[in-house]
Amino acid sequence: MVLSADPSVGGNEHRIVSEGAFGRSEMTILGKPMAGNARTSMLAALSLARALLNAGARVVI
């Protein structure tokens, strides 16, 4: 795991890389800062909302 911070960047980036006998897979999510709080992103708020919805769901997506 690598964690880095760059205050000059206008958002956040989450990158998942996996490698094995199957080959290599990469996934990148580029998040924009939340309008009311630049220290977090809309992705964080939506993840929390989904977690709350999943808590009472029969089928979790």
For residue 23, give every residue at least 6 positions away whose Cβ sits within 8 Å of its Cβ, in sequence order, or none: none
Percentage of the residues of the chain whose pLDDT score is greater than 90: 20
Against a cut of 0.85, is the pTM above it? no
| Spatial distance between the Cα atoms of 59 and 49, rounded to a whole number of angstroms | 16
Indicate if 14 belongs to the active site: yes
- Give the C-alpha separation, 9 to 25, whole Å: 25
With tokens 């998040």, the residue in question is 31
pLDDT digits (tens, 9 = 90+) for 13-42: 888 899 999 999 999 988 888 888 777 778
- Catalytic member of 14, 15, 32, 50: 14
Higher per-residue confidence, 16 vs 4 = 16
pLDDT band at residue 9 using 50, 70 and 90 as cut-offs:
confident
Q: Where are the domains of the chain?
A: 12-55
How many CA atoms lie less than 13 Å away from 17 in the CB half-sphere? Answer: 5
